[in-house]
Structure 1
Amino acid sequence: MVTSLGGLSSGMDTTSLINALIQAESAPQTNLKTKVSDYTTNNTAYQTVNGKMKAVQDAAKELTKFDAFKGAKATSSSTDVVATASTGAQTGDMTFSVTKLAAAHRVTAAFAANDTVATDSGTFSLKIGTEDPTTLTVEENTPQGVADAINKAGLAVRASVVTTDSGPVLQLASTKTGGENKFELGGLTSEAKVMSEGSNAELTVGDPTKGGFKVSSSSNTFTGVMPGVTITASKLATDVTIGVNKDTDAVAAKMQALVDAANGALAQISSSSAAGAATSPGSKSSGGPLAGDYTVRQLSSQILSTVSQGMSDFGSFKQMGIQLTQGGKLEFTKDDFLKAYNENPEKIQKAVTDGLAGGLQKVADTATDKISGTLTQKISSGTTMISRLNKEILDWDTKLADRRTALQRQFSAMESALAKVSSQSSWLSSQTAASNASNS
């Protein structure tokens, strides 16, 4: 295949001529590439708007979930006692004293130097709580051998050996606090002595002799004392009051998140669909890539109308701190919302769930649904068109390559013919010259 031509016979720059012809014939492919660029820009804009609408969808769902308004917040009157409330915790309060903290069971056994530690068979037993005793075998019949056997067994007891002036001392401690994790050693030649009893933590409410009661826990954390509340004590404390109230701040934060998401979507739509004008004849418009697009402009209208229309059996959302600004944005006033919510929680919850959040979620669902969403279909259509155009561009690559080859062959044949004619002309000239010379 001919790859280059010099135009030596014709005197023409045939390579440049072929390139010019190919460039002229590639105009349709250039137009296709321009279309791909435009579709890609539009698709990116649709995807960006789609992402903003998904943010609206997510924020709205946080307010339409069944437990959206069941958040609770626990407070404690003591820095030594921490209380946390889970979703659905009942409101109320309780006063108590932390009369005991949980402790781990600790035991020591002292031995003289070179004493045999385990029984003659080299075994000993360890019983934890109400479990059956575990029989352990030592590799070396020494205090360290006993400690190694315990630690290797993976039980809820850890052992170590301390060297003292009077000999080695075996120390054992439960890895868990509480009376239920006490343990007993058997089969040692020295009596194991309890350094500290494993004990439960204890809360005392009122006077147990006069209707009060006590609550115990194997750790310093109590659950179930108040429904949905976890209490953790770090020190003994007297007359600690735990209060549980609705977490209205959390609901207000979700409202603010929804407003921010809606404003983000409105701003993106405004930017993407902004009208513009060409700065010169034939140049592109200075507007957004989706200028005049009905789909995104309709989304903007739906968001704004959801807020402006309020709710038929509630009225304007301004009653709960939501309103539109003159610039076409949503505005949220937390204090107004909290005031309305505290005065009538059920009414505000319904207005949010069925009205504002429910309405915005519906708008977002319609736009972003994975199959039927209006934005989804736009993106899918654009992706399909880009794929088709790219295939046409590849087809044109083949066509143009074939055309270049054909032109190179044609010009090569022309150059060869011209070279042959030139050669024949030179021969005839030489023959004529020779004949003339002979005649002379």
Structure 2
Amino acid sequence: MTSSVDGLVSGLSTSSLIGQLMQVEAAPQTKLKTKVKTAETAVASYQSVNSKLKAFKAAADDVSKLSTWRSTKATSNSSSVTASTTTGLVNTAGSVTFDVKSVARAQTTTIKLPTNTTSDSNNDGKLEKTPVNLGASVTVTMGKYDENGNFTPATPAKSVTLDLTKGSSAQDIAGKVNSAGLDVRAFVVNTSDTEGILQFTGSKTGEDFGFQVTGLEGLGLDTNGNAGASPASTYAKNATLQVGGEGEAGYTVSSATNTFSGLIPGVTVNVTKEETGVTVSAATDISGITAKIQSMVDAMNATLTEVKDQTAYDSSTKKGSPLTGDFMVRQMTQSILGMVSVGMAKYPNPRYDKDLPVDETTNPKELTFPEQSLNKLGIQLSRDGLLTFNATDFTNAYNENPSRIQEVTQAVATNFSALADKQSKSVTAVITGRKNEIDSINDQISNWDTRLASRREALQRQYAAMETALGNMKNQSSWLAGQIASLG
């Protein structure tokens, strides 16, 4: 790379001169960089508007979904019974009354065993504990108990035999049961230095998760500490509900857990204790519906505000915003507000059967909304150009005619979603075009970097050559002056 040193002969600041010349040479590239910066600012503004449009569409889609209108809210008249709902198309309003006959529980089997012996084996007056070897071979079998306590092994068989002859303390039994891979856990509760309770507990509730422990018969201690006791069990059982009384119209439902999900479609019931006269009800979740409509209105206002900010013009400073002159963006406000002001005169009939002839009485393709104005739905234009939503007005209208208001609101939301989607696609196309333009300009800027580097190098060679030529001329001048002086 050629370099130059400020004029040693000419006295000129050649680096400064080259810098000034390069500024002139780089003027086209500077314009391109400014153009890129302006385009990038516009793209960022388009993206900001587009994000609001997408949020608007998503909120409108939520309102138009059937699952929104099928959502229910569950209540219970009992503090020991809770009811909750899930969002889905199967949700149904209704109520059910039942008695909680039993709650689900896991099996528990216990036996009192000697755990340690104490002795002064070193004759030093200090007692030492030694685990008691029970000499047992314990078998744990999974299965089910009937009402009379008769056990039926599970099919396929799930049974584990633990050979404990080499180490069969109560702690050993618990540890090996826990490592057996069954739905049973075991532990020892020490009740004294020499005795404890070996407890087996099912890890799941429900009558299908019972178990039988054999091999410990006669090894336990009774309440007086005498040997000969066997394990005692509290059997696993299901939660049971008696619905509609015990007459012919009543029926019983059971669950391995304390949770029931089929009493009312879309409602989950959880019981915690036996109780009579429990009523669970599910009603349309109006508050949930109005919350989604409010979200849609908020998203519409956010879009209108963003468009206003991105296209604003300050007449006092005569300064515009990034998208001030963009007609497409400015037109969005008129389109949204126009759709609100027009309202809903007709909307698609959701029950229209395309396989039958169109009949305005029995099978109309469109339905008429007499009020037309969206005021009936609680949606109004305010003086500041934004929208308001009155949940109370909407609720009153819904309670008067639920099916009609649902149809109209879904149709309105569908129209808004379509509008937002159309506008978003237009903005996306503009963003894509601007980004392609930026990429093209950046390629030109990169090419200018190469051209300017070559030009700088050429100027540096030119001024270096000039300094060399001036130096030679200076040397020749000095030589001639010397020759002339010698002739005198």
Fold-level match, TM-score > 0.5?
yes
Contact 1:138 1:149 survives alignment (8 Å): no
Indicate whether 1:264 and 2:302 are aligned.
yes
Alpha-carbon distance in structure 2 between the residues aligned to 1:104 and 1:19: 88
Q: Secondary structure at the match of 2:70?
A: coil
1:97 aligned partner: 99
Query: 1:216, CA displacement in angstroms?
Result: 2.4
In structure 2, do the counterparts of structure 1 residues 192 and 395 end up closer, same or farther at CA, with 3 Å as the change threshold? Answer: farther
Query: 1:406, CA displacement in angstroms?
Result: 0.6
Alpha-carbon distance in structure 1 between the residues aligned to 2:423 and 2:247: 66
- Please show how residues 165-204 of structure 1 align to structure 2 within 5 Å: 165=192, 167-189=195-217, 190=219, 192-204=230-242
Contact 2:377 2:409 survives alignment (8 Å): no
For residues 99-135 of structure 1, give each alpha carbon's deviation from its aligned partner in whole angstroms, at most 9, with x where no partner exists: 322222111133346353423xxx5242233412413
Q: Which amino acid aligns with 1:26?
A: A
Alpha-carbon distance in structure 1 between the residues aligned to 2:202 and 2:471: 105
Structure 1 residue ranges without an equivalent (≥5): 280-284
Q: Secondary structure at the match of 1:208?
A: coil
- Greater shift in the superposed pair: 384-393 or 263-272: 384-393
Q: 1:136 aligns with which of 143, 161, 183?
A: 161
Q: Which amino acid aligns with 2:405?
A: I
1:321 aligned partner: 378
Alpha-carbon distance in structure 2 between the residues aligned to 1:331 and 1:57: 18
Q: Which amino acid aligns with 1:269?
A: V
1:145 aligned partner: 172
- Greater shift in the superposed pair: 405-414 or 209-218: 209-218
Query: 1:297, CA displacement in angstroms?
Result: 1.6
Q: 2:322 aligns with which of 257, 274, 289?
A: 289
Alpha-carbon distance in structure 2 between the residues aligned to 1:416 and 1:133: 101
2:393 aligned partner: 336
Query: 1:367, CA displacement in angstroms?
Result: 2.2
- Greater shift in the superposed pair: 422-431 or 102-111: 102-111
Q: Secondary structure at the match of 2:67?
A: coil
1:282 aligned partner: none
Alpha-carbon distance in structure 1 between the residues aligned to 2:135 and 2:292: 65
Indicate whether 1:424 and 2:449 are aligned.
no
1:353 aligned partner: 410
2:427 aligned partner: 375
Q: Normalising by structure 1, report the TM-score.
A: 0.91
Alpha-carbon distance in structure 2 between the residues aligned to 1:125 and 1:377: 69
Indicate whether 1:397 and 2:412 are aligned.
no
Contact 1:276 1:291 survives alignment (8 Å): no
Alpha-carbon distance in structure 2 between the residues aligned to 1:278 and 1:392: 37
Alpha-carbon distance in structure 1 between the residues aligned to 2:429 and 2:35: 19
Q: Which amino acid aligns with 1:245?
A: A
- Greater shift in the superposed pair: 407-416 or 340-349: 340-349
Alpha-carbon distance in structure 2 between the residues aligned to 1:128 and 1:151: 18
Q: Which amino acid aligns with 1:325?
A: S
- Please show how residues 91-130 of structure 1 align to structure 2 within 5 Å: 91-112=93-114, 114-119=132-137, 124-129=139-144, 130=153
Indicate whether 1:32 and 2:29 are aligned.
no
Query: 1:187, CA displacement in angstroms?
Result: 3.1
- Greater shift in the superposed pair: 196-205 or 44-53: 196-205
Contact 1:157 1:174 survives alignment (8 Å): yes
Q: Secondary structure at the match of 2:213?
A: strand
For residues 116-156 of structure 1, give each alpha carbon's deviation from its aligned partner in whole angstroms, at most 9, with x where no partner exists: 3423xxx5242233412413233533322222221012211
For residues 319-369 of structure 1, give each alpha carbon's deviation from its aligned partner in whole angstroms, at most 9, with x where no partner exists: 110111122111111001111112112211221222x2111111111122x
Contact 1:96 1:240 survives alignment (8 Å): yes
For residues 200-259 of structure 1, give each alpha carbon's deviation from its aligned partner in whole angstroms, at most 9, with x where no partner exists: 222233541564343322222112122221111223333222111011111111100000
1:366 aligned partner: 422
Q: Which amino acid aligns with 2:203?
A: T
Contact 2:56 2:296 survives alignment (8 Å): yes
Alpha-carbon distance in structure 1 between the residues aligned to 2:13 and 2:265: 92
How high is the sequence identity, in percent, across the aligned residues? 39
Q: How many residues align?
A: 423
- Please show how residues 242-253 of structure 1 align to structure 2 within 5 Å: 242-253=280-291
Alpha-carbon distance in structure 1 between the residues aligned to 2:71 and 2:100: 27
1:307 aligned partner: 340
In structure 2, do the counterparts of structure 1 residues 138 and 300 end up closer, same or farther at CA, with 3 Å as the change threshold? Answer: farther
Alpha-carbon distance in structure 2 between the residues aligned to 1:67 and 1:212: 31
Alpha-carbon distance in structure 2 between the residues aligned to 1:45 and 1:364: 17
Alpha-carbon distance in structure 1 between the residues aligned to 2:135 and 2:281: 54
Q: Which amino acid aligns with 1:124?
A: T
- Greater shift in the superposed pair: 205-214 or 22-31: 205-214
Alpha-carbon distance in structure 2 between the residues aligned to 1:409 and 1:167: 103
Alpha-carbon distance in structure 2 between the residues aligned to 1:291 and 1:135: 79
For residues 45-102 of structure 1, give each alpha carbon's deviation from its aligned partner in whole angstroms, at most 9, with x where no partner exists: 0000000000011001112223221101101112221101223322111222323222
Query: 1:303, CA displacement in angstroms?
Result: 1.0
Q: Normalising by structure 2, report the TM-score.
A: 0.82
- Greater shift in the superposed pair: 189-198 or 412-421: 189-198
Contact 1:74 1:243 survives alignment (8 Å): yes
Alpha-carbon distance in structure 2 between the residues aligned to 1:146 and 1:215: 38
In structure 2, do the counterparts of structure 1 residues 173 and 237 end up closer, same or farther at CA, with 3 Å as the change threshold? Answer: same
Alpha-carbon distance in structure 2 between the residues aligned to 1:30 and 1:261: 40
Query: 1:278, CA displacement in angstroms?
Result: 8.3
Task: Give the RMSD, CA atoms, in angstroms.
Answer: 2.0
